[in-house]
Structure 1
Amino acid sequence: MTVSPDNGSPGGETGAGRAEALPPIRRFGALFGAVVAPTSFVTGLLYYFGLNQAYWFYAYFGVDATLLGLGTTDYLVISVDSLFVPMVVAAGAGLAAFWGHDLLRARLTTGARPRVLRILVPVLGSAGFLLALGGFWSVLDDRLFLRSHLAMAPLSLAIGVILLAYTLQLRRSLPPERIATPSGSAPDEGAEPPTSPEPPDASSTSPRPRQTRQAVRSEWVGVAEWAVSFVLVGLSLIWAASDYAAAVGRGRAQGLVSQLSTSTTTVLRSERSLGVDVPGVREVLCDNAKSAYPYRYEGLVLVIQSADQYVLLPQSWTRDTGVALVIPRTDAVRLEFVPYAARGTLNRSVC
């Protein structure tokens, strides 16, 4: 009668045994997936980056983004703008890293392992140490020159940790080198091969409790090492993406300002005077006293309509003299849009 390997036979491992035999990185991935739901994690990151970009976009005009009532969907849509370039760059860098690893493995199988290791491992280790040191130093001291460049400090930390981890794994995963003879020459052809020692008695092969504890400890040390590396690299990439999202928000705001003078004009009509006294905005009172919206404000550009708020900018807005208007969305106001080419056809007296 044959015994199934799943039942703990000598020819197979139990499910618990297979779980214990997983590499540390796979065990860490299983633990991370069990604790953090991937969908919720990704959604939270997208929300954070969208919130960050929206904050810096409206802060450029002096508007607090929390007043606009943007929802979760708005932030998720905005985050696509700030994450497209970082995701493309990260995917390209990851693909290049995988290809480079395959090329390195092919190189090592050709018999050039000692020579490659003598050159590659010190170079990767030194570069990783310097980059990680610069990133850590930037965390503690924001006056370091890396902080003056966009995402340079977090990327330095992330790349440095990745290089250090890869260097250590490269040293551990490769088999040890063949031990050479003292004279450096190959052994004699006529020499007899060394006899292998007698196999130990089966009763003496059972693992000792101390060795078992050491093996479990070494396994969890490996899991903890991958966890720390993942946290450092993950936080560094979030830091870099946050800096980029802030830069995108400010850049989008500057691009909008550069196009204000030729943008579609927004005419704001109101039932009563709004008391708007802003440079570049004209208040016009219509001749028709029976008009439902006798007050008209020209020279504005609509930035966004969010929830119950209109955000408008004067077409002559500047950071030194500009004022942003946040108008409640009610039945007492109405918006009209006039293309740039048709601005001269506005009749300021007829409503």
Structure 2
Amino acid sequence: MELLGTVGSLVSLLAAVLFYFGWASTDAETRALGLRDSIFRLSTSEYLLRSVEALFLPALLLVGALLAAIGLQRWVVTSPGRTRTAVRRMRWGWLLPAALAPFYRLHPALFELVVPLVAIPGLLATAYALTRTPPETAPDTAQRRAHLQIWALSLVLCLLSLFWAVSSYAGIVGRGRAEEAARAVNTAAFPSVVVFSAKDLMIRGDGSCYQHVAGKGSAYAYRYTGLRLFYVSGDRVYLVARKWRPTRGTLWVVRENDSVRVEYVSGPRGREPEC
């Protein structure tokens, strides 16, 4: 039962980290584009899905770091002298983040990511060194209580550092996505869209075009081209025009229903006769 409880807690923590990363990266991305993430009304599952791809590299690095730590631990425990030396040095692990302070001005965004990542192993190493007792000595009740307090405080600080690191990395990922979106708006990464509507939707500017539908008996009176698909959430379709830029441009929100039809055009040829 204790194992199941531990696994459940780890899964809950992982889900919380994934959701927070999805929200933080989306928030950074939309802010860089001059928008807000609340506009898109994303669900919890969408935030989780947006976090998965960007976390592959951190997950691989984490596994590599754990394997390296296991190998180092085995190398240290093979010699009593190495163990004593390592424990003495680990007491000062909490100083590692402070040692990085002079390098803040070199790259502030990277600094805010590296500091919490360095703080986590430093705090854990310090807690281990402070609570380690020789095998031949049994800690009394007061020592156990003190050790428990040290580990509790260290784990809280590590958890805060973890969310700090996730927030910093999410900001880097989100701003990178925004830059990519600004470059790729007129490429295949943004599918071309044609909108038909029974009423005038007032879609104008940024390279978009509109025309009256001349066919008799048509259910639609207006046709809009020169549009790109920005995002889809439920029945809401978020569109930008082909000349859209984050610093100057309009995001249109169209709801698909009986009076509005949205067509998606793939390939470069679908873009040529747009306007």
Mapped to 1, the partners of 2:258 and 2:19 lie a distance apart of 32
Mapped to 2, the partners of 1:274 and 1:93 lie a distance apart of 54
Mapped to 2, the partners of 1:37 and 1:163 lie a distance apart of 23
Select the residue among 210, 223, 235 that pairs with 1:283: 210
Displacement, 1:300? 1.5
CA 1:167–1:325 in structure 2 vs 1: closer, same or farther (change >3 Å)? same
Partner residue, 2:168: 243
CA 1:226–1:174 in structure 2 vs 1: closer, same or farther (change >3 Å)? same
CA 1:168–1:347 in structure 2 vs 1: closer, same or farther (change >3 Å)? closer
**How does 1:145-184 map onto structure 2 within 5 Å?**
147-149=108-110, 151-168=113-130, 172-173=133-134
CA 1:289–1:92 in structure 2 vs 1: closer, same or farther (change >3 Å)? same
Partner residue, 2:58: 86
Q: Look up the equivalent residue of 1:85 and give its one-letter code.
A: L
CA 1:218–1:308 in structure 2 vs 1: closer, same or farther (change >3 Å)? same
**How does 1:1-351 map onto structure 2 within 5 Å?**
33=5, 37-108=9-80, 113=81, 116=82, 120-121=86-87, 123-126=89-92, 128-133=93-98, 147-149=108-110, 151-168=113-130, 172-173=133-134, 215-263=140-188, 264-288=191-215, 290-343=217-270, 346=273
Q: Secondary structure at the match of 1:151?
A: helix
Displacement, 1:269? 1.6
Mapped to 2, the partners of 1:261 and 1:132 lie a distance apart of 43
Q: Look up the equivalent residue of 2:154 and give its one-letter code.
A: S
Deviation digits for residues 57-83 of structure 1 (CA, Å, limit 9, x no counterpart)? 333333322232221221221121232
Mapped to 2, the partners of 1:169 and 1:216 lie a distance apart of 13
Mapped to 2, the partners of 1:118 and 1:77 lie a distance apart of 46
Displacement, 1:321? 1.9
Deviation digits for residues 14-61 of structure 1 (CA, Å, limit 9, x no counterpart)? xxxxxxxxxxxxxxxx7xx58x84443332222222222222233333
State whether residues 17 and 166 of structure 2, in contact with CA within 8 Å, keep that contact through their aligned partners in structure 1. no
What TM-score results when the alignment is normalised by the length of structure 2? 0.82
Structure 2: stretches of 5+ with no match in the other structure:
none
Moved more, 293-302 or 59-68: 59-68
Q: Secondary structure at the match of 1:335?
A: strand
CA 1:221–1:118 in structure 2 vs 1: closer, same or farther (change >3 Å)? closer
State whether residues 285 and 296 of structure 1, in contact with CA within 8 Å, keep that contact through their aligned partners in structure 2. yes
Q: Look up the equivalent residue of 1:152 and give its one-letter code.
A: V
Identity %: 29
Deviation digits for residues 141-184 of structure 1 (CA, Å, limit 9, x no counterpart)? xx7767442502212322331332344356x34679xxxxxxxx
Alignment root-mean-square deviation, CA = 3.2
State whether residues 231 and 238 of structure 2, in contact with CA within 8 Å, keep that contact through their aligned partners in structure 1. yes
Mapped to 2, the partners of 1:340 and 1:298 lie a distance apart of 15
Q: Which has the larger radius of gyration?
A: 1
Number of positions where the alignment pairs a residue of Structure 1 with one of Structure 2: 268
State whether residues 19 and 48 of structure 2, in contact with CA within 8 Å, keep that contact through their aligned partners in structure 1. yes
State whether residues 53 and 82 of structure 1, in contact with CA within 8 Å, keep that contact through their aligned partners in structure 2. no
Displacement, 1:124? 4.3
Q: Look up the equivalent residue of 1:247 and give its one-letter code.
A: I
Q: Secondary structure at the match of 1:298?
A: strand
Q: Look up the equivalent residue of 1:227 and give its one-letter code.
A: A
Deviation digits for residues 83-109 of structure 1 (CA, Å, limit 9, x no counterpart)? 22222212211111111000111233x
What TM-score results when the alignment is normalised by the length of structure 1? 0.66
State whether residues 194 and 223 of structure 2, in contact with CA within 8 Å, keep that contact through their aligned partners in structure 1. yes
